[in-house]
Structure 1
Amino acid sequence: MASIVERPKKDGTVTYQVKWRQDGQWQTENFGDPGPAAQFKNLVEAHGGQWPHGWVRGKGFVEEEAVPGDVPFDAWATRYVDRLTGIEKRTREDYHRDIRIHLSLLRHVTPQGQMVPATIGNLTQDDITDWVRAEEKGERDPDAPTKWLRRPADPKSIANRHGLLFCIVQAALDATPQLRTTNCCKKTRLPRTDDHVDEEMTFLERDEYQRIAAEIRDPDARALADWLVGTGMRWGEATALQVRDLNLNSDRPTASIQRAWKKAEVGSPGGAFYLGAPKTKKARRLVALSPTQVSMVRELVAGRAPTDFVFRAAMGGEWRHANYYNRKWKPAVAAAVAKGLPKKPRIHDLRHTQVAWLIAANVPLPAIQMRLGHESISTTVDRYGHLVRALDDEITAAVEAAFGASAPVTRLRAVATA
């Protein structure tokens, strides 16, 4: 909290000093009248015990001079994304879309409260905070209050866009000549991703999956569903699997993940999808197969060429997610729900379900990480760690064994009894 201290001077006048602690150090600002001092005290407290942005000690609010070479934010952000290397075309297009739809909402508010267009040089921490709030709130259609012009963004999406924004601003610091001296995104308080009920993942019990699978009448479509839930592969990996990726004749049969379907840029001549590298380096992996899985794919690939897809639609081509979902998966789930199934899983929930089954069987998380192809174990722990309850008995038994028969509580009770 800030305070106001009256300091009489030798000439009989009084200085009103606003005093507060910031990062462990005393900060002060002097005023000749109590009114402005009280207003400044409120500003300091409203800024969480920090100097108000744009306030220069001894001078008041001073608008920063434009940095030579300053450019409109949209132009700088677009130029930054255009020059990125080592990313896929689709990723670049997604970044451009985020700039066009979301980061274009950025505005700069001057110390006097005037809203002006954002440039890479004039953005402040307060401007970033205002942008986060705008993303959280969304924007309703003024002509139709029940409809949205822009829906409220979820915390994860805001964090992803803020990450892009951080990199764009940092590039201005690293530029020659430098266009900024600080990164205004550094201290942004983002919405917590765990402040909402997580309804994204659905985990199926074995009998629940069987109830859905029984409604998939097409045997090729059923085989793909069984493969997805039995391997935990991503849709784009499983449907890109080719005969040459299978090693079925060894003592430890495997499927090798070497490629995956990628979404192409809009208007690409080759179509909406293309075969590319898996999602990450660790997504290139070997997935161990069970005897049942080996028998299933042996039947599917009999007489096929090495580059033929393992899973094929009715006309012999590769499966497309939209077709499979609308024609096979969605009707099967609807039929199962009509018969009493209490869940409505997506296709991707088959991957989550595989993890739940492995955890229930006490398979260690590092092994699950390798099977799923997660780049980091933290991803596996963050996403599925809450399911590791099957080990509770082993954990409590280990703690009990560590204390042994002479646990401290037991000895204290013995002394008290004596």
Structure 2
Amino acid sequence: KRAVAKGQVGVNPTTGLSLPAVRGKRDRIASPKEACQLIGALPAEDRPLWATAMYAGLRRGELMALRWEDVDLAAGVIRVERSWDSKEGEIEPKSAVGRRTVPIATVLRHHLVEQRIRAADPEGRVFGTGSQPFSPTRVRVRASKAWTKAELEPITLHEARHTFASLMIAAGVNAKALSTYMGHANISITLDRYGHLMPGNEAEAAGLLDAYLNRAAA
């Protein structure tokens, strides 16, 4: 810009240039114990939302758009069919792989059952009022107050999604399955973001193999 102003060049060669996102410190990830503590410290009405972010890994927009018709408690799955945009409202998922089926773990199921019992509209939003989704700002403020009172380090919905990925990896879920559950366009995105959490040294790899062989022989 300075060179253009001085007349040294006619056109700024960087105009319109899109730079890749700068990744600094990694997002916060809660441990299994911490995840449980964070959810437990919340007001009862907010626990199902954060539990779904933490144990199903849905994006914020997907949580906002989620309807009860997308939650199949009998089959034990959540079908991600839509998302929510602050300007456009309900929208299609970002890509074809955004439409996906995510398993409901037992630790999440009881939260969703309680939310279903409280639901005024069985055909409305899972986390909202009728057709209107929850307010991310209000949810964040309530959670922050609860966690500060409990002397817990706050976490965001985005970081809760990362926590889901880390828990799945620690549980032994393979990268391809995790990529599907996260709604990533391809497995390389999953490996790039979460590869540092996956077993990477010889001792860990050997330990996993030994554990598998022991289970197979039992």
1:249 and 1:324 map into 2 onto residues whose CA distance is 28
User: Could you say if the C-alpha distance between residues 317 and 277 of structure 1 is closer, same or farther in structure 2, counting changes exceeding 3 Å?
Assistant: closer
Q: Corresponding residue for 2:94?
A: 279
Q: Which of residues 40, 44, 51 is equivalent to 1:226?
A: 51
Task: Output one character per residue of 1:237-296: Cα deviation in whole Å (capped at 9) or x when no partner.
Answer: 12211111122223xx211111111131xxxxxxxx500011222111011112443343
CA distance in 2: counterparts of 1:222 and 1:307, whole angstroms = 20
What amino acid does structure 2 have at the position aligned with 1:384? Y
- Per the alignment, residue 406 of structure 1 pairs with none
Equivalents in 2 of 1:396, 1:237: separation in Å?
38
Deviation at 1:212, TM superposition (A): 2.4
- Checking the alignment, whether the CA contact within 8 Å between 2:116 and 2:122 is kept in structure 1 is no
Cα pair distance change 1:213/1:294, threshold 3 Å: closer
Query: Residue type of the partner of 2:64?
Result: T
What is the CA-CA distance between 1:347 and the residue it aligns to? Answer: 2.3
Structure 1 residue runs of 5 or longer lacking an equivalent are 1-104, 136-156, 161-192, 265-272, 400-418
The answer as to whether partners of 1:300 and 1:310 remain within 8 angstroms in 2 is: yes
Using structure 1 for the length normalisation, give the TM-score: 0.44
Q: SS at the partner of 2:178? A: helix
Matches within 5 A, 1:192-341: 193=22, 198-217=24-43, 219-250=44-75, 253-264=76-87, 274-302=89-117, 305=121, 307-312=123-128, 317-326=132-141, 328-336=142-150, 339=151, 341=152
Return the letter of the residue paired with 1:203.
I
Quick check: 1:243–1:310 contact (8 Å CA) kept in 2?
yes
Distance in 1 separating the partners of 2:73 and 2:158: 26
2:195 corresponds in structure 1 to: 385
1:332–1:299 distance in 2 versus 1, CA, 3 Å: closer
Structure 2 Cα separation of the partners of residues 285 and 309 of structure 1: 18
More helix by share: 2
Structure 1 residues 395, 236: CA separation in 2 closer, same or farther (over 3 Å shift)?
same
Shift of 1:203: 0.8
Alpha-carbon distance between aligned partners in 2 of 1:259 and 1:200, rounded to the nearest angstrom: 28
Instruction: Determine if the alignment matches structure 1 residue 352 to structure 2 residue 159.
Output: no
Instruction: Provide the rounded CA distance (Å) in 2 between the counterparts of 1:295 and 1:344.
Output: 23
Three-state SS of the structure 2 residue aligned to 1:275 is: strand
For 2:185 and 2:3, the matched residues in 1 are separated by 36
**Cα 1:116/1:285, change in 2 over 3 Å:** same
Correspondence for 1:69: none
Aligned equivalent of 2:214: none
Q: Map Cα deviations across residues 120-171 of structure 1 (whole Å, 9 max, x no partner).
A: xxx6xxx43xx79xx9xxxxxxxxxxxxxxxxxxxxx7326xxxxxxxxxxx
Q: Aligned-pair RMSD on alpha carbons?
A: 3.3
Q: String of CA shifts for 1:340-382, please: whole Å, max 9, x gaps.
A: x4x4422211111111111111211111111110111111101
Which has the higher relative contact order, 1 or 2, with Cα contacts under 8 A spaced 6 or more apart? 2
Q: 3-state SS of the aligned residue for 2:85?
A: strand
- The SS at the match of 1:298 is helix
AA aligned opposite 1:159 = P
Distance 1:276 1:316, change over 3 A: closer
Q: Following the alignment from structure 1 to structure 2, what is the Cα–Cα distance between the partners of residues 199 and 333?
A: 22
Contact 2:67 2:124 survives alignment (8 Å): yes
Alpha carbons of structure 1 residues 345 and 301: separation in structure 2 relative to 1, 3 Å: closer
- 1:305 & 1:334 partners in 2: Cα distance? 32
Q: How do 1:148-187 and structure 2 match up within 5 A? A: 158-159=19-20
Q: Deviations along 1:387-407, whole A, 9 cap, x unmatched?
A: 1138753524699xxxxxxxx
Deviation, structure 1 residue 224: 0.8
Is the Cα–Cα contact under 8 Å of residues 201 and 352 in structure 1 kept in the other structure? Answer: yes
Structure 2's unaligned 5+ residue stretches are 210-218
Residue 115 of structure 1 corresponds to: 8
- Aligned pairs, how many? 209
